[in-house]
Amino acid sequence: MQIQVVPVIILVIYVIGMFSIGFLVNKFFIKDSTDYMVAGRQMGVLMVACSLSANNVGGGSTTGVATKAFAGWGLSAAWYVIAAAVAMVPLAYFAPKIRKTMAVTIPEVVHRRFGSFASSFTAILNISSLICLTASQILASAVVISSITNIPQNVCLLIAAIVIAVYTSMGGMMADGIADIIQFFVILIGLAIAVPFIINGIGGIERLQRDLPPVELNFFKVGVPTILSLIFNYFCTFISGPEISGRFAGSENEDATRKSSLLSAVFMVLMAFLPTVIGLCALAENPGLDGGEGTSALMWATSTYAPGIITGVVSASIVAATMSSADSNLLCASTILIKDIYQRFINPDVEDDKLIRYTRLSNISICILATLISLFKIPILTLNLFAFALRSAGPFAAYALGLVVPKATKNAGIYSIIVGSVTVIIWQILDSPFGILPVVFGSLCGVITFMLVTYIESKRGVKPAPSPYIE
């Protein structure tokens, strides 16, 4: 395998750009820990919308969607991303409330309402899941880097980890937000330019309509239950995702969070169909690709029919997208570790400048741990599903409902976290009976527990837990 020169050049330019952004943000913007952890609460609508979208546009939403379109889902593969867009709509209701708390992390909000045990449990779940997600994204980045450079994959793991750790540590959330704007539009425009070349290369839309079975062009082929499950899964993981709530916390005001959620939904719908069409084109032209699995459908079609520079942009931007998700998860994990564990239990009076220093050191330490996990080459999907289940099912009810149910009691939050966490593990072990995802089942159990305990204790005269908002 030869080195793919154009993608490598573009990737090198991207890395240099990320280092430059991190350096400049650190030099001219970061004055205190709020600047570092939540971008000084100055992120505008476009930045937050792009950052939300970029966090959900990586290998899974690009190469993964193309593969699904090729190998079974057909046109309905677009729902893999559209479902995320739909989940952003109800999230727009919660987003201003998240901003209103003026908190930095999810455990901070849980602590205000439900106490130390609930917040500590949530912090541990958040950190553990974010480490797993960072590991999967480092591995995904390394796989693509290795494919375009011919450098051994283990070496690429170290390269990806160093790049992610360095620019994240330098610039914090503001640098991450700026990088997300660039990354999102580069990959969106790159795929948008590639699609007409690919369609024309295979003989036009008529070729798809003529050669593909009608079922492959059925927008609802995957089935309504799967679509609804995806939407609920995304909503649970979004609202209880530290990297998502962190964007809302960093927004310039409450209205910006609502607008950015809706704008992000539009962005993701635009993104949904591009890799789907590419996957269908690959299916029409080369149905035996990868033994019928189509795992390289997107890159095969792009490299075959699109100009070299566009192929380079697409391949490099997929790496960039994966890295962008990794840096968000890394920063969130470090912030929770320092704010909700170190500052709360070890050194409550720590100076603000040391908060930044310790968070940066945590970035490096957690990145090393994530890299070690990635060396085991655990399947990326397995790691991601485990991480999403871990962070979402337990804290979902306590955090989301804790924002909107004034009568919620302390025990409602505590018990819902425990029940949600236990049931998601049981459902995972049982291998998702009835096709219900563990995240969905665990979150529902947490919600039922939360509401039942609140109802029972309210009837008994138990006082509501304190407000999550600073009054």
Identify the CA nearest to 177 among candidates 251, 274, 125, 257.
251
- Indicate the residue type of 14: Y
Sequence-distant (≥ 6) Cβ neighbours of residue 81 within 8 angstroms: 56, 57, 61, 65, 268, 269, 271, 272
At 218, give phi and psi (nearest 5°). -85, 115
Burial of 13 (0-12, 13-18, 19+ CB in 10 A): exposed
Determine the Cα–Cα distance for residues 426 and 417; give it in Å rounded to an integer.
14
- Say what the pLDDT of residue 220 is: 96
Give the three-state DSSP class for 362: helix
Which tokens in the block code for residue 468? Answer: 């999550």
Write out pLDDT tens, residues 316-373.
878 877 887 888 899 999 999 999 999 999 999 999 999 999 999 999 999 999 999 9
Identify the CA nearest to 168 among candidates 331, 359, 337, 370.
331
Determine the Cα–Cα distance for residues 59 and 50; give it in Å rounded to an integer.
17
- Say what the pLDDT of residue 2 is: 64
Which tokens in the block code for residue 24? Answer: 């400049």
Residues in the chain where the model's pLDDT stays below 50? none
Q: Are 322 and 59 in contact (CB under 8 A)?
A: yes
- Say what the pLDDT of residue 141 is: 84
- Say what the pLDDT of residue 235 is: 94
H runs (alpha helix) in 286-351: 297-305, 308-336
Of 1.20.1730.10, 1.10.3720.10, 3.10.20.600, 3.40.50.1100, the CATH number of 5-382 is 1.20.1730.10
- For the packed helices 410-429 and 438-459, what is the interaxial angle rounded to 10 degrees? 150
CA trace torsion 184, 186, 187, 191 (10° rounding) = 140
- Say what the pLDDT of residue 21 is: 92
Q: Where are the domains of the chain?
A: 5-382, 393-471
Determine the Cα–Cα distance for residues 15 and 167; give it in Å rounded to an integer.
9
- Considering all CA atoms of the chain, what is the largest pairwise distance in Å, rounded to the nearest integer? 72
Q: Are 340 and 108 in contact (CB under 8 A)?
A: yes
Q: How many residues does the chain have?
A: 471
